[in-house]
Amino acid sequence: MKIATAAYPLDALITWADYAAKIESWVGEAAGQGAELLLFPEYGAMELAMLDGPEVAADLERSLRAVSNHIKDADDLHADLAAKYNVHICAASAPVYDDAISTRPVNRARLFSPTGGRGHQDKQIMTRYERTPMNMAPCRPLKLFDTSLGKIAILTCYDSEFPLLGRFVSQADLLLVPSCTEALSGYWRVRIGAMARALENQCVSVMSSLVGKAEWTDVARANTGMGGIFGPPDTGFPDTGVLAEGALNQPGWTYAEVDLAAIAHVRADGRVLNRTHWNEQPEGVTQVTTQTLG
C-alpha cells in the first residue's frame, strides 16, 4: 500500500466552506498520488475554532469547546471524503467533550474507512501543557483497528514516547503517530519514540506534524516538524529504518510504499526478533543492586 503523512499548516479559516475545501484539497492530492492511508497531525482540528471568530479562537477555554462543537460535522466530512476517494483517513486530532468520559475534553484522533467504518483513539498521557492550562482528560483504553490495510493503532504524540503503550498494541502492523510539537527538540522526541516503537514491535510507524505559526490559537502558536514513515532497520527495510521523510517545516505530504508481507517476514525471520523476545525482559523488577568500584 501507499501511505501519505502530512506536514500540515493551520490556517485562519473563516467559513465552513473554506475548511471543507481545504480538507478535500489535501485528501484529493494524496489520493491522486495513489495513497490508501492518510494521516493528519495532532490538534490540526484547532483551525475549526476560527469559524466561531477570532475572539473565540484566541480564548483557550472557548476555543476547545468551539472545536468540539464542530467535530460531528468534521467527522461527516471526513467520512464522505474517505468514501469518495476510496481511502482510509486518520483525521487531525481534536479536543472533544464526551460527557460519558469526563467533564473535560479528551484529545481524540478519528479514523475513517472508505466503506463507512469509523473509530477513534483518545490520547493516554497528557503533556505538561495539556495538564495546565488546558486541563485535558486522558482516556483509556488503547484500541487496535482491524482494517483492509492491516491492523492499525494510534499513539498520539507524547504517547509514542512510552514503550509499554507501544507494547499494548504490538499486534499492529501500522502505528500512527499524529504529533504537534513546538520546538525542534519536541519533534525529535516524538520521532525517536516513533522509531523506537517500530524497532520494538517490528512494525511501520507513521508520524505527521503540524508546521508553521498559528498565533491566533494558544494550543499551537508555533509548530515544528515534518512527515516521516519508519520501519525496523532490518531485513526488508532501509538500514536507517527511514522509509521516507519530508523537509523540515515544509507543508505537504510525505509518501512511502509499505508491504505488509515485509512486516510479517521481519517479525518471523529478522536478523533480530525484538517483538518475539520482548517477554525475556525480567518482569516485576523492583530491586537494583549497587556495586561500588574503587
User: Which tens digits make up the pLDDT trace of 31-45?
Assistant: 999 999 999 999 999
Residue spans of the domains in the chain: they are 2-279
Distances (CA, A) of 87 to 3, 121, 171, 256: 10, 19, 22, 15
- Residue 145's nearest CA partner among 179, 177, 120, 109 is 120
Taking all residues of the chain, what is their mean pLDDT, rounded to a whole number?
96
φ, ψ at 13 (rounded to 5°): -75, 145
CATH classification for the domain delimited by 2-279, as one of 3.20.20.120, 3.40.50.300, 3.40.50.620, 3.60.110.10: 3.60.110.10
User: Which tens digits make up the pLDDT trace of 195-234?
Assistant: 999 999 999 999 999 999 999 999 999 999 999 999 999 9
pLDDT band at 285 (very low <50, low <70, confident <90, very high): low
pLDDT band at 291 (very low <50, low <70, confident <90, very high): confident
φ, ψ at 21 (rounded to 5°): -65, -40
The per-residue pLDDT for 182 is: 97
Q: Count CB-CB contacts under 10 A for residue 38.
A: 27
Amino acid (one-letter) located at 70: H
User: Which tens digits make up the pLDDT trace of 155-182?
Assistant: 999 999 999 999 999 999 999 999 999 9
Task: Report which secondary-structure segment, H or E, holds 176.
Answer: strand 174-179
